[in-house]
Amino acid sequence: MPVSDQITIPAEAAALKDVRAFIRRHLADHTTPDALEDLVLALDEACANVIRHREPDLTDGEIHLRLHHNGPAVTFQIDAYCSASQMGQVKPRDLEDVRPGGLGMHFIQHAMDRVRFIPDRGHPGSVTLVLDKTLPPPAADPAP
Amino acid sequence: MIQLTTHPTDTGTEVAVQGEVDLESSPELWQDLQRHITQGQTLRINLSGVPYMDSTGVAVLVRALKQSQSVRAQLVLVSPSPRVQAVLDLARLAQLFTIETDAD
């Protein structure tokens, strides 16, 4: 049965743990521990990017994360992820370039099958981040 | 929230980190670590109690490594949890660090 849910958090670092709990609560029983934690990391990084780079006039100071889960297919959506003008800065850094920072988008792309940016109709001038993943199934319980 | 416990070693200092390292807690971790990076000394960072680390935590470790190198100090990561090890591997940074595990 398809499941849709959403979480709204203040755009503050202290709220990221709530995002992690939200992902774990919904998906812990539907995939492997490693895949789950990769997803947790990816959504944490995506929300952290909003917190670090948000333009105050673009959002209401909150982050709205939506989850849609249907069988192994899961889609996450973050509205007002960034402004259209910031799109050029949204890219993973070269991993050969050893320096602090810039790893978040690399982690997101690693965890997801597809990363999309679409115009955000509710927030003119901004884009919505859409993340798609087909979950690997959880390991079967060993036979009794 | 993280808890940082410090104790002296024969060659310097060990900082044990407990808790999740993320955008909220990584500034506190950096503030603490940089106080313990001392020329000629070894700073050991015990990460066995860190169940979660994001890119900001990785950035703190890279900054600590670079500052250590700049003052000829040593930096050792001790017993990183499986998730910390996974994130370092994912960032292709694990080979940059001296890492001690329980098996060492």
Q: How far apart are CA A101 and CA A15, in angstroms?
A: 20
CA–centroid distance for B68 within its chain = 11
Q: Which residues contact A102 (CB under 8 A, 6 or more apart)?
A: A92, A93, B55
Largest CA distance in chain A: 58
| Per-residue pLDDT tens over the stretch A51-79 | 988 776 666 789 999 999 999 999 999 98
Which residues in B lie closer than 8 A to residue A104 (C-beta atoms)?
Answer: 54-55
| Per-residue pLDDT tens over the stretch B52-81 | 999 999 999 999 999 999 999 999 999 999
| Per-residue pLDDT tens over the stretch A11-32 | 999 999 999 999 999 999 999 9
For residue B15, the model assigns a pLDDT of 98
Q: Which residues contact A124 (CB under 8 A, 6 or more apart)?
A: none
Q: How far apart are CA A29 and CA A135, in angstroms?
A: 11
The torsion of the CA quartet B95, A103, B20, B63, rounded to 10 degrees, works out to 60
Chain B contact for A53 (CB, 8 A cutoff): no
ipTM of the complex: 0.92
Put simply, the answer to whether B90 touches A101 (Cβ < 8 Å) is no
Put simply, the answer to whether A99 touches B62 (Cβ < 8 Å) is yes
User: Which of A4-13, A86-95, A116-125, B18-27 is predicted least confidently?
Assistant: A86-95
Q: How far apart are CA A134 and CA A132, in angstroms?
A: 7
Put simply, the answer to whether B55 touches A40 (Cβ < 8 Å) is no
For residue A36, is pLDDT > 70? yes
Chain A contact for B69 (CB, 8 A cutoff): no
pTM of the shown model: 0.90
For residue A56, the model assigns a pLDDT of 66
Q: How far apart are CA A15 and CA B36, in angstroms?
A: 29
Which phi and psi angles does B48 have, rounded to 5°? -70, -25
% of chain A residues with pLDDT over 90: 61
Which phi and psi angles does B94 have, rounded to 5°? -60, -35
